[in-house]
Structure formats: C-alpha cells, structure tokens
C-alpha cells in the first residue's frame, strides 16, 4: 500500500493517506519528546523498534479478541492501520504508582495498587492533556457514555492480557496510555503500544525499560527498547 499524502505529523509518528480511504499508513520516527514537548531528542532506531513492538502487541491483542486499528506491518518503520475518528480522551491504566500519580497524591513510586486505576485525560496539546472525568468527557462532547463504557471495558481487558504477557517475559507493566477511535461505527484501540507510552520495569531489578530513561536522563535508552523488543518477540 503506497503512501499518498501526509495528513498529520505528531511528535513520534507521521500519518499518510493511501489509495484506500479506510486505511492509513502510520510511520514511526526516532524523535522523542517529554514534559509536554519541553524536552526534545532522538532515540536511535526508536521508530523501527516501536513499529515492531507495537505490531507484536497489536497482533497478540487481536488474537485475544481485542479490536484494534492494526492491519499489517508494511516495512521497518510503517504499519497499515484503519482510519479512525480519534476520540480525544486518553485512558491511562495503572497497576503500580509512578509518574504523575506519585506526584499528585505524594505516594511513593512503586506502591502496588490493589486494583488497576483508570484515569482519563483530555487530548489537547495547548492545554497539556489535562486530567478529566466521565462527566467532563460527556458534557463537553468528547465521548459518549457508550464510547466511554467500551473504552474502559477494553482498557481493563487489555490490562489483564498485557500484564500477564509482560509478566511471562520478566517485565512488570507499571502503567500505560491507550487511545481509541471510531471506525465504521466501531470503537477500536488505536495509536501504538510501545515503551514511549508504557512504563515497563524489569521484574527482578525494577530497572526502567521505557521512555523514563529518556525523560530522566538515565542513559541506555535504545538498549532498553531493544531489550523490550527481544522479550516481546520471545
């Protein structure tokens, strides 16, 4: 499937139309940003690694009955996906306290949550993706009650599937962000599932294997992503 026209360029990905109006090409870049774009850099080979990691995870989720936008991997940096009307609500799923939750409630990073915690954020670059709740999402028309129900149910299902998947491979799935969109009237999981948007810790050492290595200047960022790819392919 050939790329025709660039329709969106984001921080880590570029999207292109194809000859099929229902399908688009998602191209993964090496650029990395953090702290609402205030920190910028490049992680060598990140685009290739994330394309492969996300492909593996989307295929695995599909095999377990989760409907995603994934169609096929096209080459090292590109996958073909179904065109979505993106729902502007990000769903964060947390199994362990880290990042903004740790700061917001002053709870030590690493505390194990007795149930997964779901959080909603309004997808808006100018506002820095503020946290919202179901009422905000519905009243301001970001998503319908039915869409939110489906997104939350899918997020919890994905959490069960991926927590076990990573655990079997020696990795703790700490937290991650999911995005959804509507394709032909159906809510599908979209975007990507990669170490850019997931916190992944080594089960034995609790060493970080995700974008926190870039955010916090911990070094060995590419190596960590390589290790994640190796483990998810096993």
Rg (CA), the chain: 17
> Which residue number places its CB atom closest to ligand UDP?
99
Q: What CA–CA distances, in Å, run from 222 to 14, 26, 60, 123, 175?
A: 20, 21, 23, 27, 20
Give the binding-site size for ligand UDP (rule: CB under 6 A): 13
Of the candidate spans 13-21, 76-84, 108-116, 192-200, the one that interacts with ligand UDP by CB under 6 A turns out to be 192-200
Q: Which residue has the tokens 């009422």?
A: 135
Question: Cα angle vertex 164, ends 146, 61, to 5°?
Answer: 50
**Whole-number minimum distance, CB 88 to ligand UDP, in Å?**
12
The reply on whether position 191 binds ligand UDP by CB under 6 A is no
The reply on whether position 197 binds ligand UDP by CB under 6 A is yes
The reply on whether position 175 binds ligand UDP by CB under 6 A is yes
**Whole-number minimum distance, CB 25 to ligand UDP, in Å?**
21
The reply on whether position 158 binds ligand UDP by CB under 6 A is no
- Residue 176 contacts residue 184 (beta carbons within 8 Å): no
Residues of this chain, 25-64, that bind ligand UDP according to CB under 6 A? none
The reply on whether position 199 binds ligand UDP by CB under 6 A is yes
Q: Nearer Cβ to ligand UDP, position 75 or 100?
A: 100
Binding site for ligand UDP (CB under 6 A): 92, 98-101, 129, 175-177, 197-199, 211
């Amino acid at each position: 499937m050939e790329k025709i026209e660039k329709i969106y360029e984001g921080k880590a990905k570029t999207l292109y139309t194809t000859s099929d109006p229902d399908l688009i090409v998602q191209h993964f870049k090496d650029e990395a940003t953090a702290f609402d774009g205030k920190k910028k850099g490049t992680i060598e080979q990140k685009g290739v690694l994330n394309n492969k990691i996300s492909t593996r995870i989307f295929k695995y989720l599909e095999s377990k009955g989760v409907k995603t936008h994934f169609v096929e991997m096209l080459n090292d940096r590109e996958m073909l996906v179904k065109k979505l009307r993106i729902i502007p609500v990000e769903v964060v799923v947390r199994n362990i306290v880290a990042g903004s939750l740790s700061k917001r409630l002053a709870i030590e990073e690493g505390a194990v949550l007795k149930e997964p915690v779901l959080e909603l954020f309004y997808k808006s670059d100018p506002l820095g993706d503020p946290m919202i709740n179901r009422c905000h999402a519905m009243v301001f028309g970001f998503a319908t009650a039915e869409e939110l129900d489906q997104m939350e149910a899918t997020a919890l299902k994905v959490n069960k599937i991926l927590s076990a998947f990573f655990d079997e491979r020696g990795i703790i799935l700490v937290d991650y962000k999911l995005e959804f969109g509507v394709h032909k009237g159906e809510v599908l999981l979209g975007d990507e599932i990669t170490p850019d948007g997931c916190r992944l810790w080594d089960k034995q050492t609790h060493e970080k294997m995700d974008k926190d290595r870039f955010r916090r200047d911990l070094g060995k960022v590419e190596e960590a992503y390589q290790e994640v790819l190796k483990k998810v392919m096993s």
